[in-house]
């Protein structure tokens, strides 16, 4: 169990030792986003921009224009919200080599409540041209994703969480932008998941097997560009898709998969996530249960979609 934000802090510090062009900027939240690990090792390459997210993104774009590789971090609600215009105009439009790594995404922010629980950020970032959007499942994938983002030339948005999550991928997992991973084989239906919901889908698939339901699990660590091949293959072979994400079903993973299937392979489908509403205050585990973001809900949806499938 490790929080993806903790894995980010470790990976960024490792990269900093390997590449002097990497710099980090934070909006007075380095203790929470874990860029503080980088700051301690490389104080001359760390910039605390204060509570000025828009200025931070603009500064990062300037640093990128002179060959630096800036990693910009704050909470997802502030990155996708307060700094949206600067991300669009100063980063995405000119294809600036800026990496926006936003932590505290989703309802697992917990007691901070709906005002701080970003459930729209993936949709917002996915809509921006030239933007790559990544949502890792666990700490190991996060480390690989940060390395891949650093090597990639262009804007990247990485969404991370606050809480510790189960480890899905083995140590040293190689992350490839735009490529999904089939974690469990199955023939009756496919769970297409991202973020912390991937571990829940693996649990659900194992339990469903005992009921005679064969569920495939496909994890998409990259939401944009979407791995069309792995999704279409699953749709054609299993005939039923259930997406799962700690995000609004509007415009996130569910929206992306629905768009693809609607155009290229109409398939029986269900979206599990936040259904067009804001988050609320509570303990993270209680909120996941409240919003149905768990293996039990996935199993219920699997039984229902099998019935609908006939």
Tell me the catalytic residues. 53
Task: Write the DSSP string, 102-135.
Answer: EESBSGGGGGG-TTT-BSSHHHHHHTSTT-EEE-
Q: Which residues pair with 158 in a beta bridge?
A: 101, 134
CA 15 – CA 1 distance, rounded (Å):
23
196 and 137 Cβ atoms separated by less than 8 Å: yes
Give dist(CA 68, CA 97) in Å, integer: 8
Alpha carbon 130 to its chain's center: 17
Strand order in the sheet with 240-248: 181-184, 215-219, 189-193, 240-248, 268-274
53, two tokens: 């997210």
DSSP 238: H
Single out the residue of 46, 44, 43 nearest to residue 56, CA to CA.
46
Residue 307 contacts by C-beta under 8 Å, 6 or more apart in sequence? none
């Amino acid at each position: 169990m490790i929080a993806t934000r903790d894995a980010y802090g470790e990976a960024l510090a490792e990269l900093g030792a390997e590449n002097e062009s990497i710099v980090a900027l934070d909006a007075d939240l380095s203790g929470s986003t874990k860029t503080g690990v980088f700051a301690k090792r490389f104080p001359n390459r760390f910039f605390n921009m204060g509570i000025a997210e828009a200025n931070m993104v603009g500064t990062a774009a300037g640093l990128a224009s002179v060959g630096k590789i800036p990693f910009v971090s704050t909470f997802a609600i502030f990155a996708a919200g307060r700094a949206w215009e600067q991300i669009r105009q100063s980063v995405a439009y000119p294809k600036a080599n800026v990496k926006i790594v936003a932590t505290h995404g989703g309802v697992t922010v917990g007691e901070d409540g709906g005002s701080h629980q970003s459930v729209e950020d993936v949709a917002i970032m996915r809509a921006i041209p030239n933007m790559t959007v990544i949502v890792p499942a666990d700490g190991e994938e996060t480390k690989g994703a940060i390395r891949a983002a650093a090597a990639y030339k262009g804007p990247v948005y990485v969404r991370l969480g606050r809480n510790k999550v189960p480890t899905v991928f083995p140590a040293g997992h190689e992350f490839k932008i735009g490529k999904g991973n089939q974690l469990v084989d199955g023939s009756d239906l496919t769970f297409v998941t991202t973020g912390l919901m991937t571990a829940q889908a693996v649990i659900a698939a194992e339990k469903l097997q005992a009921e005679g339901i064969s569920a495939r699990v496909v994890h998409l660590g990259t939401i944009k560009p979407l791995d069309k091949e792995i999704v279409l293959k699953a749709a054609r072979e299993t005939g039923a898709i259930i997406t799962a994400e700690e995000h609004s079903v509007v415009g996130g993973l569910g929206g992306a998969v629905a768009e693809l299937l609607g155009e290229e392979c109409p398939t029986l489908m269900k979206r599990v996530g936040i259904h067009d509403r804001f988050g609320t205050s509570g303990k993270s585990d209680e909120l996941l249960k409240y919003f149905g973001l768990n293996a039990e809900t996935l199993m219920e949806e699997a039984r229902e979609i099998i019935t609908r499938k006939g």
